[in-house]
């Protein structure tokens, strides 16, 4: 049972969302950032790789460019960090993936809303083997 078992109170979705956001903040700002800051030029180069050119020219060349991009891990959501930084007014167009504030903005604006939609469509237990086979994309 979730929530307070003694009172048999289920958590509100708002509180769950706040908890998820706090966990993501710690994960991105503390854990992952320590790894990324060890080689900032590498992450800048990775962010500005050929995928950015493909992103900007996608209409002309088709969708195969996704292989080069830092894309959403949410099944069915194909937003990329590179596209987000070029469209978000609060994130510099040249922001690196190593910029924690840019990553968190991407999470808040694109990833978390997509996650909520996906979880509503896929309630219950996540079957890891299905997830790894790409079965939730169908």
Residues of the chain with pLDDT under 50: 1, 64-67
pLDDT in the model for residue 54: 59
pLDDT in the model for residue 61: 53
Decide: 72 and 114 in contact? Cβ < 8 Å. yes
pLDDT in the model for residue 55: 60
Look up residue 12 and give its two tokens: 């509100």
pLDDT in the model for residue 66: 44
H helix and E strand count, the chain: 9, 0
Closest CA to 58 of 77, 75, 82, 74: 82
pLDDT in the model for residue 112: 95
pLDDT in the model for residue 89: 92
pLDDT in the model for residue 42: 84
Q: Where are the alpha helices (DSSP H) in 27-138?
A: 33-36, 40-47, 50-56, 58-61, 81-87, 100-106, 112-121, 128-132
């Amino acid at each position: 049972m979730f929530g307070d078992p003694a009172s048999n109170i289920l958590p509100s979705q708002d509180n769950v969302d706040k908890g998820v956001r706090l966990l993501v903040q710690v994960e991105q700002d503390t854990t992952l950032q320590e790894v990324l800051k060890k080689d900032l030029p590498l992450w800048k180069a990775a962010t500005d790789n050929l995928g950015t050119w493909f992103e900007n020219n996608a209409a002309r060349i088709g969708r195969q460019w996704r292989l080069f991009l830092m894309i959403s891990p949410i099944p069915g959501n194909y937003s990329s960090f590179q596209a987000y930084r070029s469209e978000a007014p609060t994130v510099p167009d040249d922001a690196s993936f190593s910029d924690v504030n840019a990553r968190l903005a991407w999470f808040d604006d694109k990833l978390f809303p997509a996650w909520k939609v996906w979880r509503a469509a896929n309630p219950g237990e996540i079957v890891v083997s299905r997830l790894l086979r790409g079965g939730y994309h169908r």
